[in-house]
């Protein structure tokens, strides 16, 4: 008699558990994307997300059963759905806040990841986990058969999980983005709460508040960005961000680091993929791209065109370099994420009319296609160079690191072809480096390894070269490396790295890259902590809380030794600002002395200049002269790389003027005026050094040009200031003639 009514009686419980399970899986997939913004995407993050969500569901199922035995199921479901909605809002806030909690960064990396994920996602997972037992109890209270009812509830819950997984992965992230998805889930759960108890007035109050926080959390309006950032409902607005978009694979951000030159950085989640000086593709910013260039130029000196394949597009910096220097070449790029290509075109200088051929496919799948075409006689593609640029410090596509993949690469290279791989590791541990080199040697008869400098205990970029014929890699660097500071690992140093890795050969069946990179990840975490201390120190400095600022700078240096130079330079400037020149000199000397331990030069010329100024103020002229000379040499080296930097020309001019070389300072100051005519002080700098040389007529011309420029620009105040200076110059010039 009751059978016809069973489907109807089970309808509401089935829909309820379907929606709750759907939301759980949506949040689980979104969790990994939200966490990646702070912690990257790796085995650690995925393990933590899956584990924490399952833990929350387990605890929620237990608590839900206890609640079902004590309270009315319908009323309880209304309250719990409302709490789940609130937990979604809390998820957004906690994810933004937890990324800035420095105490979390002091734990080991696995604990750090687990702690962050737990703080953000354990509560919503637990609350959503309470729903299924309550729904089952509600269905059983309707007199339905126990077995079929419980089985049906489990089935509909599983169906909801499946639907949530596919909908999120294949559609929602691409269309909505992760943050919007979290708000949408919160809205759905709130609707469920109200439907279960329409007259429960606290839910209607929460609905009004929810609408408000949703608006300030997602609206592009300026006031929403301000309020939402203050409430941590969204990331604080960064004026340096010129492009931001979320693809199916990651969050892509392009930031402008400086205006002149227009230098930008390409970021995928938290990984800094590449830098570029817009309009100057020859100005390769990274060691590994300079390595690619040196080897490519050295082996292709007499060739007009090349056939190259880049694994990973990123900012398309090196493919564009090849396109510029070998026009008409075949340039194929395997970039799995179309969003990366779009970002490079929109904000990183890649032309939409480029001759670069992008294949939006996993590189291994693409090589399989090439080999299949060759086997069937359709075509035979051969590359002169293949560049691997898909490995980061936090995550390595393991399918691209194995012996089987290397064999595919070998087959599509020409007889003189070269395979160059970019990777990050620490030589003192070198587990991934050693294992990868050992693996590559099973395929390529000649393997070479080069890095920035070493051996050292800090993480470095390594370029590994595999070739079919012997190469003189040091000779190529000497001829084409443009003064690269490179370390060519000897056979004994490579043997040490291989031994540290246990002489492992990476295969499709055994490729534990995440475990091998654990020391690198730990060090990267320390570096991130160091930068967070630097940010906090700058905040204290802006508030004139100098003691706290100096303390934070020192903590930054302890957390990330590579920041020691930068941190102690800032400490020196802070002491100088307070008039404590002795302490300032001590801090600057610490920065200079530590410079030899860093992998790259960190504005050391400016530190020599700062130290020289402090010594000069204490009338220690000879010591000051030594550091001014070092600063001038450093600025000249930097200008080779950034010839259009008005700031560097100004610094060089200031340094030469401090040495009393006013004639030498004239040209840098003149160049600064040409590059930045909008900056008033540039006219004063040039006018002064001409004045000190007694060249009043030339100084007058400079001041007059400045007055004309600012008058045309409608800037009355700087024009007035220069007119006053012009009057002074004319009077001094007249006295000189007398």
Can you tell me the distance from the alpha carbon of 485 to that of 700, in angstroms, rounded to the nearest whole number? 45
CATH of domain 517-602: 1.25.40.10
Can you tell me the distance from the alpha carbon of 574 to that of 580, in angstroms, rounded to the nearest whole number? 9
* Topology at the third CATH level for domain 251-516: Rossmann fold (3.40.50)
Backbone angles phi, psi at 255, to 5 degrees: -115, 145
Q: What's the pLDDT tens digit per position in 193-212?
A: 999 998 889 999 999 999 99
pLDDT-derived band at 583, boundaries 50, 70, 90: very high
Q: Which two tokens stand for residue 11?
A: 């309808």
pLDDT value, residue 599:
47
Element (H, E) at 272: strand 271-277
Specify whether the CB–CB gap between 192 and 21 falls below 8 A: no
pTM over cut 0.95:
no
Environment class of residue 36 by beta-carbon count within 10 Å: exposed (0-12), middle (13-18) or buried (19+)?
Answer: buried
| Non-local CB neighbours of 365 within 8 Å, separated by 6+ positions | none
Q: What's the pLDDT tens digit per position in 236-250?
A: 777 888 998 888 888
pLDDT > 60? residue 86: yes
pLDDT-derived band at 597, boundaries 50, 70, 90: low
pLDDT-derived band at 737, boundaries 50, 70, 90: low
Q: For the stretch 578-614, what's the b/e string if a residue is b when 16 or more beta carbons lie within 10 angstroms of its beta carbon?
A: eebbebbbbbbbbbbebbeebbeebbbbbbbbbbbbb
pLDDT-derived band at 612, boundaries 50, 70, 90: very high
Can you tell me the distance from the alpha carbon of 162 to that of 167, in angstroms, rounded to the nearest whole number? 8
pLDDT value, residue 738:
62
pLDDT > 60? residue 255: yes
State the SS3 of 14-82.
HHHHHHHHHHHHHHHHHHHHHHHHHHCCCHHHHHHHHHHHHHHHHHHHHHHHHHHHHCCHHHHHHHHHH
pLDDT value, residue 602:
54
Can you tell me the distance from the alpha carbon of 47 to that of 526, in angstroms, rounded to the nearest whole number? 21
Q: Which two tokens stand for residue 595?
A: 């410079």
Q: For the stretch 350-387, what's the b/e string if a residue is b when 16 or more beta carbons lie within 10 angstroms of its beta carbon?
A: beeebebebbeebbbebbeebbeeeeeeeeeeebbbbb
Can you tell me the distance from the alpha carbon of 426 to that of 90, in angstroms, rounded to the nearest whole number? 38
Task: Please state the domain extents for the chain.
Answer: 3-230, 251-516, 517-602
Q: What's the pLDDT tens digit per position in 302-358?
A: 889 999 999 988 889 999 999 999 999 999 999 999 999 999 999 999 999 999 999
Can you tell me the distance from the alpha carbon of 129 to that of 415, in angstroms, rounded to the nearest whole number? 60
Instruction: Report the pLDDT averaged over residues 540-545.
Output: 89
Instruction: Report the pLDDT averaged over residues 703-729.
Output: 88
**CA 522 to chain CA centroid, nearest Å:** 17
Can you tell me the distance from the alpha carbon of 700 to that of 88, in angstroms, rounded to the nearest whole number? 66
Residue carrying the six token digits 């990366």: 340
Environment class of residue 515 by beta-carbon count within 10 Å: exposed (0-12), middle (13-18) or buried (19+)?
Answer: exposed
Q: What is the mean pLDDT of the chain?
A: 88
Environment class of residue 628 by beta-carbon count within 10 Å: exposed (0-12), middle (13-18) or buried (19+)?
Answer: buried
pLDDT-derived band at 455, boundaries 50, 70, 90: low
Q: How far apart are the first and last CA of the chain?
A: 123
Which CATH number is 3-230's, of 3.40.50, 1.20.1250, 3.30.160, 3.40.1110? 1.20.1250
Instruction: Report the largest interatomic distance among the alpha carbons of the chain, rounded to a whole angstrom.
Output: 123
pLDDT-derived band at 1, boundaries 50, 70, 90: very low
Can you tell me the distance from the alpha carbon of 14 to that of 159, in angstroms, rounded to the nearest whole number? 10
pLDDT value, residue 482:
66
Can you tell me the distance from the alpha carbon of 247 to that of 252, in angstroms, rounded to the nearest whole number? 7
Check for a shared fold between 3-230 and 251-516. Answer: no
Q: What's the pLDDT tens digit per position in 459-483?
A: 788 999 999 999 998 888 888 876 6
């Amino acid at each position: 008699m009751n059978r016809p009514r069973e489907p109807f009686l089970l309808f509401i419980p089935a829909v309820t558990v379907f929606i709750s399970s759907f939301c759980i899986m949506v949040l689980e997939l979104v969790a990994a994307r939200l966490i990646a913004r702070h912690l990257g995407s790796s085995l650690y993050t995925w393990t933590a997300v899956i584990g924490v969500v399952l833990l929350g569901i387990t605890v929620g199922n237990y608590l839900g059963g206890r609640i079902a035995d004590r309270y009315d199921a319908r009323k309880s479901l209304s309250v719990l759905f409302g709490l789940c909605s609130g937990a979604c809002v809390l998820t957004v806030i906690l994810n933004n806040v937890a990324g800035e909690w420095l105490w979390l960064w002091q734990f080991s990396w696995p604990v750090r990841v687990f702690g962050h994920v737990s703080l953000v996602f354990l509560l919503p997972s637990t609350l959503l986990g309470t729903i299924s037992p309550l729904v089952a109890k509600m269905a059983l209270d309707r007199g339905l058969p126990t077995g079929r009812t419980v089985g049906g509830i489990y089935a509909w819950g599983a169906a909801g999980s499946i639907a949530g997984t596919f909908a999120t992965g294949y559609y929602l992230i691409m269309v909505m983005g992760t943050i919007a998805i979290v708000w949408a889930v919160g809205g759905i759960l709130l609707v469920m709460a109200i439907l279960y108890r329409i007259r429960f007035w606290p839910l209607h109050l929460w609905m009004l508040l929810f609408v408000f926080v949703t608006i300030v959390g997602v609206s592009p309006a300026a006031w929403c960005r301000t309020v939402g950032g203050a409430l941590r409902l969204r990331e604080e607005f960064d004026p340096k961000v010129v492009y931001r978009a979320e693809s199916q694979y990651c969050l892509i951000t392009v930031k402008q680091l400086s205006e002149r030159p227009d230098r930008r950085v390409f970021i995928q989640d938290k990984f800094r993929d590449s830098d570029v000086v817009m309009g100057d593709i020859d100005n390769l910013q990274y060691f590994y791209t300079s390595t690619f260039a040196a080897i490519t130029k050295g082996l292709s000196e007499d060739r007009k065109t090349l056939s190259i394949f880049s694994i990973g597009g990123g900012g398309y910096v090196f493919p564009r370099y090849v396109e510029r220097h070998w026009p008409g070449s075949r340039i194929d790029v395997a970039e799995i994420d179309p969003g990366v290509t779009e970002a490079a075109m929109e904000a990183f200088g890649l032309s939409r009319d480029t001759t670069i051929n992008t294949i939006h496919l996993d590189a291994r799948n693409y090589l399989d296609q090439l080999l299949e075409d060759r086997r069937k006689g359709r075509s035979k593609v051969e590359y002169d160079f293949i560049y691997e640029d898909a490995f980061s410090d936090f995550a390595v596509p393991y399918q691209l690191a194995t012996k089987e993949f290397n064999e595919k690469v070998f087959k599509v290279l020409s007889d003189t072809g070269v395979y160059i791989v970019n990777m990050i590791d620490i030589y003192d541990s070198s587990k991934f480096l050693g294992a990868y080199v050992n693996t590559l040697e099973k395929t390529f008869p000649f393997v070479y390894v080069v890095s920035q400098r070493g051996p050292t205990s800090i993480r470095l970029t390594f370029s590994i070269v595999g070739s079919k014929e012997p190469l003189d890699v040091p000779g190529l660097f000497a001829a084409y490396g443009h003064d690269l500071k490179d370390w060519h690992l000897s056979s004994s140093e490579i043997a040490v790295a291989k031994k540290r890795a246990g002489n492992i050969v990476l295969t499709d069946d055994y490729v534990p890259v995440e475990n091998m990179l654990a020391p690198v990840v730990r060090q990267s975490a320390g570096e991130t902590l160091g930068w967070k201390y630097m940010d906090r120190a700058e905040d204290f400095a802006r508030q004139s809380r100098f003691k706290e600022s100096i303390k934070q700078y020192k903590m930054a240096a302890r957390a990330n030794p590579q920041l020691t130079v930068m941190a102690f330079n800032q400490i020196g400037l802070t002491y100088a600002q307070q008039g404590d020149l002795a302490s300032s000199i001590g801090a600057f000397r610490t920065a200079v002395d530590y410079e030899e331990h860093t992998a790259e030069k960190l504005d050391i010329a400016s530190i020599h200049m700062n130290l020289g100024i402090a010594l000069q103020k204490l009338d220690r002229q000879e010591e000051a002269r030594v550091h001014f000379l070092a600063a001038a040499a450093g600025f000249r080296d930097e200008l080779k790389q950034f010839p259009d930097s008005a700031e560097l020309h100004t610094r060089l001019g200031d340094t030469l003027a401090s040495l009393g070389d006013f004639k030498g300072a004239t040209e840098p100051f003149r160049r600064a005026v040409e590059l930045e005519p909008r900056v008033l002080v540039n006219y004063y700098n040039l006018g002064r050094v001409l004045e000190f040389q007694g060249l009043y007529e030339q100084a007058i011309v400079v001041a007059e040009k400045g007055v004309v420029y600012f008058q045309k620009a409608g800037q009355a105040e700087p024009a007035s200031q220069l007119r006053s200076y012009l009057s002074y110059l004319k009077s001094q010039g007249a006295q000189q003639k007398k």
